[in-house]
Amino acid sequence: MKKLFTLLLGLLRIGFVCAQNEPIAAGRWLTTIEMGVQTGRVRPDNLNQNYGYWSYYPAPYYSQRPAGNRVGLTIHAFSGYTFTPSLHVGLSTGVDYYNNSAFFPVAATVQGNIFKRIQRLTPFYCLESGYAFRGPNPHEKELKGGWLWSPGIGLRINKGNGTGFLISAGYKHQQARHIASVDGTQTLSQVEYRRYNRLFFRMGFSF
């Protein structure tokens, strides 16, 4: 956690250095970079069982991952076109850690100011949906990615020239599958469907 807080402090410094009192104008590109933590509880859902051809009884299913509270790092980057101050449309990517499992999300994203009037402190919303690909997980090589969706809200501190410092929070739902190895005897395949539900808290900057 000490390294995580060090990264967040560094990101905070970068935000203030990059920030230079003009609103984000329509017809230009907006880029945001954020870093933070996401926390929640993992509960594997045992939804699928496949049985061996030579077994008269269902093969026992053992969850690959027990339930428990989790805290992980999240890095989020967005780049989109500004149609109006209340509507920015683009793509977001980054990296999300769910305990020891890493995913690379790619999502269509819509965000914008909640109120039409732009002030120094401007609240904004964010909605995104897409797919997360499995990252480099040496201990879970049979883990597959899945669909994700995430709503959130935040506060932009406008510093001028279209730049600003961001604080955001929201919810993220991520799906994944873990496919067990085939033993060649009774269990032909064994699939665990995972649904990660997280609350995220991030800080960053926009330009």
Amino acid at position 143, single letter: L
Residue 14 has pLDDT above 60, yes or no: no
Using pLDDT thresholds of 50, 70 and 90, give the confidence band for residue 24.
low
pLDDT-derived band of residue 105, with 50, 70 and 90 as boundaries? very high
Grade residue 43 by pLDDT with cuts at 50, 70 and 90.
low
* The pair of three-digit structure tokens given for residue 92, joined into one six-digit string: 């977001």
pLDDT at 16: 39
Q: Measured in Å, how far apart are the chain's first and last C-alpha atoms?
A: 28
- Whichever domain contains 102, its CATH number is 2.40.160
Among 48-52, 120-124, 146-150, the range of highest mean pLDDT = 146-150
Please check the confidence at residue 158 and state whether its pLDDT lies above 80: yes
pLDDT of 47 > 70? The answer is no
Q: Are 126 and 117 in contact (CB under 8 A)?
A: no
Q: What length is written for the chain?
A: 207
How much helix, strand and coil, in percent to the nearest 5, is found in the chain?
A: 10, 60, 35
Catalogue the long-range contacts made by 107-110 (C-beta closer than 8 Å, 24 or more residues apart): 107/131, 107/148, 107/149, 107/150, 109/78, 109/80
Summary mean pLDDT of the chain? 76
- pLDDT for 101 equals 82
- Please give the residue range of the domain that contains residue 182: 2-206
Given a cut of 60, whether residue 1 has pLDDT beyond it is no
Query: Considering its fold, how many domains does the chain have in total?
Result: 1
pLDDT at 137: 67
User: What single-letter DSSP state applies at residue 181?
Assistant: P
**Mean pLDDT for the stretch of residues 87-99:** 91
> Residue 12: beta bridge partners?
none
pLDDT in tens, 160-194: 777 889 999 999 999 888 777 666 555 566 777 77
- Nearest by Cα to 87 from 121, 118, 117, 114: 114
Report whether pLDDT(197) > 70: yes
Q: Which residue has the higher pLDDT, 61 or 40?
A: 40
